[in-house]
Amino acid sequence: MPTLSPEKSVAALDWPRIETDLATRGSATTGVIFSPEECNALAALYDEPGLFRSRVVMQRHGFGQGEYQYFANPLPPVVASWRSALYERLAPLANAWAAAMGQPADYPADHAAYLARCHAAGQLRPTPLLLRYGEGDYNCLHQDLYGDLQFPLQLTVLLSRPGEDFTGGEFVLTEQRPRMQSRAEVVALAQGEAVIFAVNQRPVAGTRGTYRVTMRHGVSRVRSGRRHTLGIIFHDAR
């Protein structure tokens, strides 16, 4: 059976369920979108330094323990294609969120147009990245903001096999509501599955109208093995 294009794969996702989960929890899993072979091929790119613009060792910056690399332009075709296809499906939701929070609802339908806006604002560096964790590694709770312009959603794809390639290393989200304690959620992923989640703030409908909650994400300690993930962020960095 031929592999679907990213555009067709994105269109085939269960968007009513995804949008309901995003509205309820600020995150939603996609089901498996990459085959094991595609996951292994993406993870193998980590050892090709010519593909990347920078490498970050987390413990040097207090970000946690482990490392990640940001892709350079031009992005690998599979990453660029999925980034554009997902953006175009998420842009209407991003506009709905912005309107609900009293912000300009002006995200363009086309990802190239949005990137042109980022570049005009001085955000020129690509943000898709590969992350590698070994035993004992983890990622502190954080937000991927990178500049004044921020698309409100992003996603992470698990490229390794939980329970086989690694143990531990759960994807963790926290949500801070006004005048309430933070709420944490652990998102279980299969190899090749993605989680879509809020970058910073998202709207929540309350009894007195809509209010904003602040989201952060991270990864718990890897207990054994090696864990690779692909991160797709839709805005570029300053």
Whose CA is closest to 10, among 194, 172, 176?
A: 194
Distance CA 217, CA 100 (A): 23
Question: In Å, how far are 12, 93, 110 from 15, measured between CA atoms?
Answer: 8, 11, 19
Beta bridge partners of 142: 217
49-64 pLDDT, tens digit per residue, is 999 999 999 999 999 9
pLDDT at 127 over 90: yes
The chain-wide mean pLDDT, for the chain, equals 96
Query: pLDDT at position 207, please?
Result: 84
pLDDT at 2 over 60: no
Return the percentage of the chain with pLDDT > 90, whole number: 94
Of the pLDDT bands very low, low, confident and very high (cuts 50, 70, 90), residue 1 is very low
Query: pLDDT at position 117, please?
Result: 98
Residue-wise DSSP of 49-99: GGGEEEEEEGGGTTSEESEEEEEPSSPPHHHHHHHHHHHHHHHHHHHHHHH
Query: pLDDT at position 3, please?
Result: 73
Of the pLDDT bands very low, low, confident and very high (cuts 50, 70, 90), residue 179 is confident
Distance CA 152, CA 234 (A): 9
Query: pLDDT at position 114, please?
Result: 98
Sign of CA dihedral 217, 83, 70, 30: positive
Distance CA 32, CA 233 (A): 19
Q: What average pLDDT score do residues 42-48 get? A: 98
CB-based burial, 212-222: b 16+ in 10 Å, e otherwise: bbbbbbbbeeb
Contact 153, 197 (CB under 8 A): yes
Distance CA 105, CA 206 (A): 21
Query: Residue 206 burial (CB < 10 Å; 0-12/13-18/19+)?
Result: exposed
Find tokens 């929070």 and name the residue.
101
Query: pLDDT at position 20, please?
Result: 97
131-154 pLDDT, tens digit per residue, is 999 999 999 999 999 999 999 999
Sign of CA dihedral 238, 51, 143, 81: positive
pLDDT at 86 over 90: yes
How far, rounded to the nearest angstrom, does the alpha carbon of residue 113 sit from its chain's CA centroid? 20
Contact 212, 201 (CB under 8 A): yes
Question: In Å, how far are 61, 137, 220 from 160, measured between CA atoms?
Answer: 25, 15, 15
